[in-house]
Amino acid sequence: SFPADSVPQAPEDALFGLARAYKADTSSNKVDLGIGAYRDNNAKPWVLPVVKKADEILRNNPELNHEYAPIAGIPEFTSKASELMLGADSPAIKEGRVTSMQTISGTGAVHLGALFLARFYKGSRQVYVSNPTWANHHQIFRNVDLETVDYPYFDKKTRGLDFEGMKSTIQSAPEGSIILLHPCAHNPTGVDPTLDQWKELAAIIRSKKQFPFFDCAYQGFASGNLARDAAAVRYFIEQGFELVIAQSFAKNFGLYGERAGCFHVVTGPGADAKSTIGRIASQLAILQRSEISNPPLYGARIAATVLNDTALFKEWEGNLETMSGRIIDMRKALRSKLESLGTPGTWNHITDQIGMFSFTGLTEPQVQKLREEYHIYMTKNGRISMAGLNTHNVDHVATSINKVVS
Q: What are the catalytic residues?
A: 134, 215, 251
Is residue 105 at the binding interface for ligand PLP, with CB under 6 A as the rule? yes
- Give the footprint of ligand PLP on residues 122-141 (CB under 6 A): 134
Q: Give the Cα separation of 113 and 136 in Å (integer).
A: 14
Work out the number of other CB atoms within 10 angstroms of the CB of residue 316: 24
Residue 103 DSSP symbol = E
E-strand stretches of 25-125: 31-32, 98-104
Given 181, 217, 245, 333, the residue binding ligand PLP (CB under 6 A): 217
* Cis, bond preceding 3 (omega within 30 deg of 0): no
Given 30, 32, 35, 36, the residue binding ligand PLP (CB under 6 A): 36
Q: Give the Cα separation of 259 and 391 in Å (integer).
A: 30
- Give the footprint of ligand PLP on residues 255-274 (CB under 6 A): 256, 261
Is residue 187 at the binding interface for ligand PLP, with CB under 6 A as the rule? yes
Given 87, 106, 190, 355, the residue binding ligand PLP (CB under 6 A): 106
E-strand stretches of 174-280: 178-181, 211-216, 243-248, 260-266
Asked if 34 and 388 count as a contact pair (C-beta separation under 8 A), the reply is: yes
Is residue 148 at the binding interface for ligand PLP, with CB under 6 A as the rule? no
Q: Give the Cα separation of 103 and 300 in Å (integer).
A: 10
Instruction: For the CB of residue 107, give the shortest distance to ligand PLP in the complex, in Å.
Output: 3
Size of the site for ligand PLP (CB under 6 A): 14
* Of the candidates 406, 367, 405, the residue with the CA atom closest to the CA atom of residue 31: 367
Nearer to ligand PLP, 181 or 328 (CB): 181
Instruction: For the CB of residue 219, give the shortest distance to ligand PLP in the complex, in Å.
Output: 11
What are φ and ψ of residue 91, in 5° steps? -60, -30
Instruction: For the CB of residue 283, give the shortest distance to ligand PLP in the complex, in Å.
Output: 23
Is residue 354 at the binding interface for ligand PLP, with CB under 6 A as the rule? no
Nearer to ligand PLP, 217 or 327 (CB): 217
Is residue 183 at the binding interface for ligand PLP, with CB under 6 A as the rule? no
The length of the chain in residues reads: 406
Binding site for ligand PLP (CB under 6 A): 36, 105-107, 110, 134, 182, 187, 215, 217, 248, 250, 256, 261
